[in-house]
Amino acid sequence: MTRKKTWFALKLFCAALTIIVALFGLITQNFSATPVMFVFLGLMAIAMAFDERGKNRRGYFALSMLTGLFALIVGLCTLIF
């Protein structure tokens, strides 16, 4: 598998897990899995950042990386505390 396909597959996997967890929360009205959704959302944004880095787009890389790290930190801190 090439690197482009690897980042695409990782983005698709994280997006699917995010949607599944969000739908679970909406259907059951149980929002205890929201931090897990934020972790997958952060991982998806980080995968998008590395995909943008491969295309030599520095601005989008930095923005996606910061967004992904923020979502990842929020999700992990919410899970821990």
**Residue 3 clears pLDDT 80, i.e. is over it:** no
Condensed to tens digits (0 to 9), the pLDDT of residues 34-77 reads 999 999 999 999 999 999 998 999 999 999 999 999 999 999 99
| Whole-number Cα distances in Å, 25 to 33, 35, 61, 67, 80 | 7, 11, 30, 23, 19
What count of other Cβ atoms lies within 10 Å of the Cβ of residue 70?
13
**Residue 4 clears pLDDT 80, i.e. is over it:** no
Condensed to tens digits (0 to 9), the pLDDT of residues 19-37 reads 999 999 999 999 999 999 9
